[in-house]
């Protein structure tokens, strides 16, 4: 599994916050730490991290009954136990 360095920072911020945060709060925390990610890149990264099971996020039901990831500035994201394990394993290295 290939992880971008910015993903590790996202996981670290989410772990430190403890609870789910909005994508806007996450972006503000990352900006405050010097990680200025364009909003579109952050949303794409969150979608990929969700597919890998590293973060949990709000889901929206579509008209055909399938669920899709809600990725906007008000959607809430949090770290999963798998994300914590991945972050811990990489930080130890």
Distance from C-alpha of 48 to C-alpha of 77, rounded to nearest angstrom: 13
Q: Give pLDDT tens digits for 23-64.
A: 889 989 999 988 898 888 888 888 888 889 999 887 776 677
Distance from C-alpha of 67 to C-alpha of 24, rounded to nearest angstrom: 22
Q: At what angle do helices 23-32 and 39-51 cross, to 10 degrees?
A: 110
Identify which has the larger pLDDT, 11 or 60.
Answer: 11
What domains does the chain contain, in order, with CATH numbers?
5-92 (1.10.10.10)
């Amino acid at each position: 599994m290939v992880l971008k360095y910015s993903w590790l920072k996202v996981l670290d911020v989410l772990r430190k916050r403890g609870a789910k945060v909005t994508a806007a709060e996450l972006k503000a925390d990352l900006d405050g730490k010097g990680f200025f990610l364009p909003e579109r890149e952050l949303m794409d990264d969150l979608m990929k991290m969700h597919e890998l099971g590293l973060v949990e996020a709000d889901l929206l039901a579509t008209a055909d009954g399938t669920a899709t990831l809600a990725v906007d500035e008000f959607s809430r994201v949090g770290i999963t136990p798998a994300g914590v394990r991945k972050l811990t394993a990489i930080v130890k290295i």
